[in-house]
Amino acid sequence: MKRSQAIALLGGGAASFPIAAGAQAKRTIRVGANAGESLSEGLLALEGGFFSRAGLDVELVILANGGAMTIGIISGAIDVGPSNIASIAAAHIRGLELSLFAPSVLVESSDPPLTIIAVRNDSPIRTAKDCAGKVFALSTVRDLQQAAVMTWLDRNGGDSSSVSFVEMPGGSQLPALLSKRVDAALLVEPFISTSKADTRMVARPYDSLGSRLLTFGWAANKTWLAVNADVLPRMTAAIRETALWANRNHDATAAILSSVSKLPETTYAVARQRFSDGQLDPAMIQPIIDASARYGFLKNAFPAADLIAARHV
């Protein structure tokens, strides 16, 4: 993707960024992104002009998913990007050198449901106990989604060991559910909204992990962080300003996402992800690490603060 010019911001106020040293030459920062909303913050920051207003020269690199984002950071294919906490934790437990330096997607139980366990309207499944022997479709197995579903099952009278999980893309889950090839699916928007006539929600599994979770965060290789310590305050400030703007301007962000995904803007006329405009909080990360370790996706749990770059703890 070519570098973009800033688009007009809807309702965007003046952002305050740390002042860049005038004599310092700009360094191009390769930022990972995806038109899927959870990984779109870098795209929104570039198209909204927040990186350029912070004096940052950014090259956007489109990657397939959070796992590819984490691999890209570790390999040096990109410099920074948002990725899911579970894949970052998995990299950390293997001794790979990367750290979180800013928050991204925030999930709160008080928000509209954005990830649900859905079943067909005629399904006999109503409680965790009803799920014994059933097959669940997830977009990613052995990750946050599966850890959340298993936690919900075990904490609500079910038995996670009696359930099977299959991995399939989000767009394939609803057809598989309606054709009875799977018994339940972990649906996200826009599939929650588009399937309301045919499905019903059984649970919000992330609520079983906590009332406030940071499911995605911005990460970088530790070597890059050390070399670019002077750039990091401006990068972090641009991300925060993007979050503040994006959370208030869904029409504008829908236009940006539509231009990249080639999906109609109406696709995004649903409940939307919320980006954190606060600080990295280990308490909102720890439940994900603990659940991943409990079900064997990590070989052991560890303090969430270990994932966070030292100056951000």
**Omega cis (within 30) before 190:** yes
Contact (Cβ atoms closer than 8 angstroms) between residue 308 and residue 98? no
* Sign of the dihedral defined by the CA atoms of residues 68, 74, 76, 78, in that order: positive
* Sign of the dihedral defined by the CA atoms of residues 112, 118, 122, 125, in that order: negative
Of 175, 208, 241, the residue that ends a domain is 208
Burial (CB count within 10 angstroms: exposed 0-12, middle 13-18, buried 19+), residue 262: exposed
Q: What's the CATH number where 147 sits?
A: 3.40.190.10
Tally the domains of the chain: 2
Tell me, what's the pLDDT at 303? 98
CA gap 15, 228 in Å, rounded:
22
Residue 11 has pLDDT above 80, yes or no: no
Asked whether residue 133 falls in the same domain as residue 201, the answer is yes
- Arithmetic mean of pLDDT over the chain: 90
Of 169, 189, 208, the residue that ends a domain is 208
Tell me, what's the pLDDT at 7? 31
pLDDT in tens, 182-219: 999 999 999 999 999 999 999 999 999 999 999 999 99
Tell me, what's the pLDDT at 105? 97
Instruction: Evaluate whether residue 10 is within a structural domain.
Output: no
The pair of structure tokens assigned to 239 is 């991300």
Residue 6 has pLDDT above 70, yes or no: no
Residue 91 has pLDDT above 70, yes or no: yes
Tell me, what's the pLDDT at 12? 38
Instruction: Evaluate whether residue 3 is within a structural domain.
Output: no
CA gap 139, 159 in Å, rounded:
21
Of 208, 233, 264, the residue that ends a domain is 208
Asked whether residue 218 falls in the same domain as residue 103, the answer is yes
pTM over the 0.85 mark: yes
Q: Which domain holds residue 88?
A: 28-108+212-312
Residue 21 has pLDDT above 50, yes or no: no
Instruction: Evaluate whether residue 5 is within a structural domain.
Output: no
Asked whether residue 55 falls in the same domain as residue 199, the answer is no
Contacts of 63 (CB under 8 A, 6+ apart): 32, 33, 34, 39, 69, 72, 78, 81
The position carrying tokens 């503040």 is: 244
CA gap 299, 290 in Å, rounded:
11
The position carrying tokens 């869904």 is: 250
Reported confidence tier of residue 69, pLDDT bands at 50, 70, 90: very high
Tell me, what's the pLDDT at 311? 63
Asked whether residue 229 falls in the same domain as residue 216, the answer is yes
Asked whether residue 240 falls in the same domain as residue 102, the answer is yes
pLDDT in tens, 36-65: 999 999 999 999 999 999 999 999 999 988
Asked whether residue 35 falls in the same domain as residue 182, the answer is no
Tell me, what's the pLDDT at 310? 76
CA gap 260, 129 in Å, rounded:
42
Q: DSSP for 44-68?
A: HHHHTTHHHHTT-EEEEEE-SSHHH
Asked whether residue 155 falls in the same domain as residue 271, the answer is no
- What dihedral angle (degrees, nearest 10) is formed by the CA atoms of 119, 121, 124, 126? 60
Tell me, what's the pLDDT at 25? 55
Asked whether residue 101 falls in the same domain as residue 227, the answer is yes
Instruction: Evaluate whether residue 22 is within a structural domain.
Output: no
Asked whether residue 258 falls in the same domain as residue 173, the answer is no
Asked whether residue 196 falls in the same domain as residue 278, the answer is no
Residue type present at position 168: M
Tell me, what's the pLDDT at 114? 94
Contacts of 275 (CB under 8 A, 6+ apart): 41, 103, 104, 105, 106, 242, 243, 246, 247
pLDDT in tens, 299-309: 999 999 999 99
According to DSSP, the residues that pair with 203 across neighbouring strands are 117
pLDDT in tens, 99-125: 999 999 999 999 999 999 999 999 999
Instruction: Evaluate whether residue 190 is within a structural domain.
Output: yes
pLDDT in tens, 222-275: 999 999 999 999 999 999 999 999 999 999 999 999 999 999 999 999 999 999
The pair of structure tokens assigned to 265 is 């803007």
Instruction: Evaluate whether residue 87 is within a structural domain.
Output: yes
Q: DSSP for 214-246?
A: E-EEEEEEHHHHHHTTTTHHHHHHHHHHHHHHH
Instruction: Evaluate whether residue 68 is within a structural domain.
Output: yes
Asked whether residue 267 falls in the same domain as residue 132, the answer is no
CA gap 198, 258 in Å, rounded:
26
Asked whether residue 98 falls in the same domain as residue 121, the answer is no
Instruction: Evaluate whether residue 4 is within a structural domain.
Output: no
Reported confidence tier of residue 312, pLDDT bands at 50, 70, 90: low
pLDDT in tens, 120-164: 999 999 999 999 999 999 998 999 999 999 999 999 999 999 999
